[in-house]
Structure 1
Amino acid sequence: MNVLQLIEALHRLPPQATVLLEGDAGYSPLGAVELFSPGGGQPDEVLLQPDMTPD
């Protein structure tokens, strides 16, 4: 999935919905979106990071 496909998918969802990331330990709220540019001819990547705030 690329950024445009992600944006299109998100536009179809309720704007008040919480975004969760699924992982081995369950679900975590989305905490940050970061652009990673590896260089060397590699494509840019978007990293979705979980919210690490303690419960």
Structure 2
Amino acid sequence: MTAFNEHPGRVFQVRDLHEFLGLPTDEPSINVTRSRLGRLVRQGLLDQPGRGRYQNRT
């Protein structure tokens, strides 16, 4: 959430978010993050403006 709060208008793709945060970019790690981001979208904390794209709620 910190990355989204620091860059409120930026739309992140999961792989870009991992690179931005210095996280591993292997497929299992990407899938875990994708699942967590999906949960945040369902909870109303993030928006999903397109497939695989996430951003802060505006």
**Fold shared, TM-score > 0.5 on shorter chain:** no
Normalised to the residue count of structure 1, the TM-score between the two structures is 0.28
Select the structure that is richer in helix: 2
Higher strand share: 1
Larger radius of gyration: 1
Structure scoring higher RCO (CA < 8 A, sep ≥ 6) equals 2
With the length of structure 2 as denominator, give the TM-score of the two structures.
Answer: 0.26
